[in-house]
Chain A
Amino acid sequence: MTAETVAVATEPSLVDLLDRLLGKGVVLSGDVVISLAEVDLVRVQLSAVIQSVRKELSPHD
């Protein structure tokens, strides 16, 4: 049994990527912490992004 026989070796989906790159489940989390400069933390709402991911991937809607 090798990795190739089990794993799907395709380009990761955007949702899987954002699940990880944003550090939290993208479907649940409403925002992401962005570190700007030394201490500034900016919270950016990602709901619009999630909405458009949904719209893009959903066949109807």
Chain B
Amino acid sequence: MTETGTYLYAVGRHLDDEVLSGLEGVGGAAVRTLGHRDLIAVVSTVELDDFGESALRRNLENLDWVEITARRHDEVVRRAAAITTALAPFRLVTIYRSDDAVRDRIETLYDDLVLALDRVDRRSEWSVKVFSRARSMPPAPVAADAASGVAYLERRRAEIRGRQEAAVDQQSLADQLFWDLVPAAAASRRLAPQDQRLTARREAMALNVTFLVDDDRCTEFFERVDELRRNYPSFDIEVNGPWPPYSFAVLDKP
């Protein structure tokens, strides 16, 4: 018989088993819920042939597997988030040996889980990415003796210096934009700007931030973003969400 484990998606309050059961989990088994004290864990059974330690090492090197698993995980978490105000999603591929091991874990983490759930209750995560619009540098004034090598080098140096200063200016301007948006959110977390090859955009990403926003202050948040779009015309601001509070309910404790 194949060995199995219990895959943990999220822990929340007031999760209705009926809505979630029947949903397909990672690896194909049905999603279930496990109660412990006043908390409910969203789980499904996985085969250790696919989700055991050595299998994971192999599978995590396979982008197709990672994508399918991440999207299924996200789907289950979103469905759960849709029926409760307080949900703490767990990281991708958090797997325990048994249902009892999940309950033990919840017992150990109980106080932290309650804090995390209080923190995200009635709040959602919104992604804000800020791109520097590609700006062409104004051409340097052409001196009368522009044809001379010295003048050319001078001009080149000035151009390079100008570009470096512009980049520094853009970054501090982006930081300023970030701080302008902070008061409209309950919490924020800066992520690493994504590589230009990953975003497939011509403009460099100056900011990759994620905000935790009160559900009843969303309009205020968006209005603030629109205001910043007007105040910072050199930036393109992209807002994406709502996300389940992935970045704000993660428990980093082992």
Interface residues of A (CB under 8 A from B): 1-3, 5-8, 12, 14-28, 32-42, 44, 46, 48-49, 52-54, 56-59, 61
Contacts and interface: CB of A to CB of B under 8 A. Distances in A.
Nearest to A51: B63
Contacts of A15: 194, 198-199
A49 B60 CA distance: 7
Contacts of A24: 191
Interface in B200-240: 200, 208, 210, 218-219, 222-223, 225-226, 238-240
A26 B252 CA distance: 16
Interface of B: 5, 52-53, 56-57, 60-61, 63, 66-67, 70-71, 73-74, 91-97, 101, 104-105, 125-127, 191-195, 197-200, 208, 210, 218-219, 222-223, 225-226, 238-243, 246-247, 250, 252, 254
Contacts of A56: 63
Nearest to B54: A42
26 contacts: A1-B219, A3-B222, A3-B242, A8-B238, A15-B194, A17-B70, A19-B191, A20-B246, A21-B70, A22-B91, A25-B208, A26-B192, A27-B193, A27-B194, A33-B254, A34-B95, A35-B95, A35-B254, A36-B52, A38-B97, A38-B104, A42-B57, A53-B198, A54-B197, A57-B198, A58-B197
A28 B73 contact: no
A58 B242 CA distance: 27
A39 to B, nearest CB: 8
Given A22-B91, A22-B92, A59-B200, A44 B60 contact: yes
A25 B67 CA distance: 16
Nearest to A20: B246
A42 B56 contact: yes
A34 B226 contact: no
Nearest to A16: B127
A6 to B, nearest CB: 5
B53 A42 contact: yes
B197 A37 contact: no
B194 A14 contact: no
B98 to A, nearest CB: 9
A1 B70 contact: no
B197 to A, nearest CB: 4
